[in-house]
Amino acid sequence: MTRPWLSQYPEGVPHDVAPEQYRSVSALLEESFKTNAREPVCVCMERWMRYGELDELSAALGAWLEARGLVPGARVAIMLPNVPQFLIAMAAVLRAGYTVVNVNPLYTARELEHQLKDSGAQAIVILENFAHTLEDVIDQTSVEHVVIASLGDQLGFWYGRWITFAVRHLAKMVPAYQLPRSGPLGKRTIVSFRDALAEGSTLHLKPNQDTLDSTAFLQYTGGTTGLSKGAVLTHRNIVAAILQAEAWFKPALDRVGDPRKVNGIAALPLYHIFALTLSLLSIRNGAFLTLIPNPRDIPQFVATLKRRPFHLLPAVNTLFNALLQSPQFRQLDFSNLVMSQAGGMAASEGTARQWRAATGCTMIEGWGMSETCAIGTNNPVTSTQFSGTIGLPLPGIDIAIKDDEGRSLSIGETGEICIKGPNVMTGYYNQPVETANAFTPDGFMRTGDVGIMDAQGFTRIVDRKKDMILVSGFNVFPSELENVISMCPGVLECAAIGVADAKQGESVKVFVVRSDPTLREEDVIRYCQSHLTGYKMPKHIEFRDELPKSNVGKILRRALRSPQATA
């Protein structure tokens, strides 16, 4: 196939990557641990951890897991927020030759049970704050070994104990729990994170036999359009994604000079594929991460940003928006910020304009999925203005716009965005029918996103196929409406859905969060009349104090479509 996008690549960006230079993700990690042993790998609540410490601690936890008798490839769940324990646990699982199953710490018991049962996880590393949820479901799962972390475990002897005490007894953020020590499969191991590290430090981590074709992660989809599925991500997928991101970001990060000095802000949850891939890129480069355990606490988030120069800030549109509402944020020094990476959801032009005006840094929008290790397309990091597109395919990736029968369409035609590349999953775990349906006969993965590619190779997302609104036979795409309405003075954020309509089949309903409390329904309607054709006009407008969002900040249209939301 022709690749018009290659001619648009910034100077120095390669057309392909070579994941074969590493045997596995573990080999990539261990190379960085040794090379950068004395350099900082992360800072959390002003407590630092160095690469040498991450090497030592992950080897200890990995050895402890091996001593439990888990077979190569066994699934180990990690249910942790953005704290150093996450990096330790992730590296430990991979170095021991097991498969990481990332779990959203805010899952309900039902959601947790589904993921643990579906993955067949035999062990879990979990923050004590969420152990009560595990207690409700553990006997319905295959989990035999539980490692319970406390928030302050890696924050130093005195400060860490104070944080743990405060979380438990002052803030009362650790609900009572009592995990059963025996289960359907026999006696269950329950141990603290500290004790597992102490015991593991007396053991020796054995070399694993992983190859690039071994499974590294079962990364569960967000489930915003249905029951979550485990995307099987191999070591090849992950290594390729790291190298693709490194190649694409290099023109921006080179402006910092020494890559080990790059301060990447990890505010998005590390269990999410977007933040996960960027954290692995940081480790590959020997850079360091500023871990933000609670990005919803904007004042504390801004105070953390103020402490030292920051260079890479990845976020979803709603988080960029939240920061912009903080007067303290606008007073920060942005002279070192070389890259503002938007992903996870559509970025709005209104937010992008405000971000550029406030920080002097262009919001660079990209696109990817759990199934593609978050890597797919991205705007050039040398861009000086927001393009409104998701950019160009990254090195080694092919994008095709296809019809429902899997035929590739011509430039300028609208169809489903399909992707092929070394970062694309091998399939969905234990779901052969879903896997078969996900791929076209020529090996492209169907994404469910509707888009259009221009002659230069830039792709614009029109919308999710399942979110499309059908008004009197006309297709209306919510993302277009949201992008337009987000530019209306007085609108902070918005979401559009279709609701049943006796005359039109469906009509448009828009939920609006106001930045100006005096904004009225007629103001929004008047603005839409000036910017939207008739059949796209919202028939219903509802003002809300906030919109339902996933933990990563993606607006959940499905929740807005529920009968309670639209009544």
Q: Which residue has the higher pLDDT, 2 or 516?
A: 516
- The pLDDT value given to residue 223: 46
| Alpha helix positions (H), 493-533 | 521-531
- Secondary structure class of 280 (helix, strand, coil): helix
Mean pLDDT throughout 533-543? 91
**Residue 486 CB coordination number (10 Å):** 21
pLDDT at 462: 86
Reported as a single tens digit per residue, the pLDDT across 196-255 is 999 999 999 999 999 999 999 999 985 444 468 999 999 999 999 999 999 999 999 999
478, 499 in Cβ contact below 8 A? no
141-192 pLDDT, tens per residue? 999 999 999 999 999 999 999 999 999 999 999 999 999 988 788 899 999 9
Give yes or no for residue 565 having a pLDDT over 80: no
Helix, strand or coil, per DSSP, at residue 333: coil
Residue 506 is predicted with a pLDDT of 86
Q: What gap in Å lies between CA 153 and CA 157, rounded to an integer?
A: 8
Give 420's strand partners: 398
Q: Give the pLDDT band of residue 538 (cuts 50, 70, 90).
A: very high
Give the list of residues 6+ apart from residue 469 with CB closer than 8 angstroms, or none.
Answer: 475, 476, 477, 478, 496, 497, 498, 506, 508
Q: What is the DSSP string of 45-104?
A: TTEEEEHHHHHHHHHHHHHHHHHTTPPTT-EEEEE--SSHHHHHHHHHHHHTT-EEEE--
In this prediction, residue 534 carries a pLDDT of: 85
**Contact assessment for residue 259 and residue 287, using Cβ atoms and an 8 Å cutoff:** yes
pLDDT digits 0-9 by tens, 310-319: 999 999 888 9
Helix 349-359 × helix 317-324 angle, to 10°: 50
> Does residue 170 contact residue 148 with C-beta atoms inside 8 Å?
no
Residue 553 clears pLDDT 90, i.e. is over it: no
Q: Which domains does the chain show, CATH number per domain? A: 4-18+235-464 (3.40.50.12780), 36-210 (3.40.50.980), 469-566 (3.30.300.30)
pLDDT-derived band at 134, boundaries 50, 70, 90: very high
The band of 535, judged by pLDDT with boundaries at 50, 70 and 90, is confident
> What is the distance between the alpha carbons of residues 182 and 243, in angstroms, rounded to a whole number?
44
Query: In the prediction, which pLDDT does 273 show?
Result: 92
Among 32-46, 212-226, 424-438, 452-466, name the one with the lowest average pLDDT. 212-226
Give ∠ CA 404-223-74 in degrees, rounded to 5: 105
Res. 566 pLDDT band, cuts 50 70 90: very low
**What gap in Å lies between CA 144 and CA 27, rounded to an integer?**
28
Distances (CA, A) of 496 to 243, 483, 486, 537: 36, 10, 11, 11
Please spell the DSSP secondary structure of 15-38, one letter per residue.
Answer: S---GGGSS-HHHHHHHHHHHTTT
pLDDT reading at 474 higher than 80: no
pLDDT per position as a tens digit, 359-416: 999 999 999 999 999 999 999 999 999 998 999 999 999 999 999 889 999 999 999 9
Cα 386 vs. chain centroid, distance in angstroms?
A: 21
Q: Looking at per-residue confidence, does 462 or 472 come out higher?
A: 462
For the segment 100-122, what is each residue's pLDDT rounded down to a tens digit?
A: 999 989 888 888 999 999 999 99
Query: Token pair of 460, please?
Result: 């614009």
